[in-house]
Amino acid sequence: MTPGLELALRLGIAATIFALLALWELAAPRRKLSVGRLKRWPGNIGIVVVNVVLVRLLVPTAAVGAALYAAGEGIGLLHWLQLRLTFAFLIGFLALDFAIWAQHVAFHKIPILWRLHSMHHADLDIDATTGLRFHPFEILISLAIKIGVILAVGVPPVAVIFFEVVLNATSMFNHTNARMPYWLDRALRLIVVTPDMHRVHHSIVRRETDSNFGFNLPWWDWLFGTYRRDPEAGHDGMTIGIPQFRDPGESRLDRLLTQPFRKDREHRQPPS
Ligand SMILES: [Zn+2]
Ligand SMILES: [Zn+2]
């Protein structure tokens, strides 16, 4: 498959899932939006365009290229062990998901990384577009970590492609502002991070922000004791965002891109 066709396919899948989730949000909204789409979507979608173009220009082969290289040269644990593809696929997928979880925790705990990641949290509402709103520098650091994991573990290329497509879809899904029956949310939470579970992570209350770091599999938060079922103020009463950057004007693309470089005091975290 040519890189152009691969990119077109991935964008096509992402756009289709996004359209379905956006329709679901319109049909059955979970919370009333405080700022709304018109003010937020141009910036949030602008960031996606910047990120897609930047990654293609700077790292055209990206993660799949690293996986193909590792497979060709026999680099990484799973290639040395010569496991069957099914096992290598499963272990590779789990390793990537755990790495993304651990990286998310690091982006909260290390001040310089928090500056980049807080742009994701500064969104005053959350919906499917928030799931793609990450600072380009966070995207590049994340890609470098992912390539490191792929080379060390020897994740098969097919697992990398599957993981990236799934993570993109689940990230949009778990930010969706759509209602689903309580029983369905509880059942889905056993295997995937649901919108109600991830919304807790977007609470303005610091100890709630410091929970539910998963984007895809919910198990790491259970294992490491960072799982929180609901926000204390309830899903309708909770405030979304961080104490800094509460002006809706901050939703503009240029403001989003410059947020990490503002003065120190604007980034100070309240105590947890
Ligand atoms: Zn976060
Ligand atoms: Zn989020």
Any residues with CB less than 8 A from the CB of 59 and at least 6 apart, and which?
140, 143
Rounded to the nearest angstrom, the distance between the alpha carbon of 71 and the centre of ligand 1 is: 32
Interval 64-75 mean pLDDT: 94
Give the confidence band of 271 by pLDDT, cuts at 50, 70, 90: low
Question: 272 CA distance to ligand 2 centroid (A)?
Answer: 18
pLDDT of 30 above 70 = yes
CB 112 within 8 A of CB 190: no
Whether the pLDDT of residue 233 is over 80: the answer is: yes
- What is the C-alpha separation between 180 and 55, in angstroms, rounded? 34
Residue 78 to residue 88: CA distance in whole angstroms: 6
> How far does the centroid of ligand 1 lie from the alpha carbon of residue 212, in Å?
9
pLDDT at res. 270: 61
Least confident segment among 79-83, 85-89, 174-178, 268-272: 268-272
Say how many Å lie between the CA of residue 171 and the centre of ligand 2.
Answer: 8
Distances (CA, A) of 64 to 7, 9, 69, 106: 12, 14, 9, 24
What pLDDT shows up at residue 60? Answer: 72
Confidence at residue 62, expressed as pLDDT on a 0 to 100 scale: 84
pLDDT grade for 268, boundaries at 50, 70 and 90: low
- Distance in Å, CA 82 to ligand 2 centroid: 37
* Whole-number percent of the chain with pLDDT over 90: 85
Q: What spacing in Å lies between the alpha carbon of 191 and ligand 1's midpoint? A: 20
**Cα(219)–Cα(193) distance, integer angstroms:** 9
CA angle 192, 77, 146 (to 5 degrees): 50
* Closest-CA residue to 209 (of 130, 147, 269): 269
**269 CA to middle of ligand 1, Å?**
13
- The answer to whether residue 59 scores a pLDDT higher than 90 is no
Contact 269, 206 (CB under 8 A): yes
- In 3D space, the residue among 215, 67, 211 whose CA is nearest the CA of residue 152 turns out to be 67
Under a CB-based contact definition with an 8 Å cutoff, are residues 207 and 272 in contact? yes
Q: Is 36 left (phi over 0), alpha (psi -120 to 50) or beta?
A: left
CA-CA distance, 36 to 22, in Å (whole number)? 13
175: helix, strand or coil: coil
- How confident is the model over 186-231, as pLDDT tens digits? 999 999 999 999 999 999 999 999 999 999 999 999 999 999 999 9
Do 148 and 141 contact (CB within 8 A), yes or no?
no
Enumerate residues 6+ apart whose C-beta is below 8 A from 76.
70, 150, 151, 152, 153, 154, 155
Length, in residues, of the chain: 272
Residues 59-80 have a mean pLDDT of: 90
User: Model pTM?
Assistant: 0.93
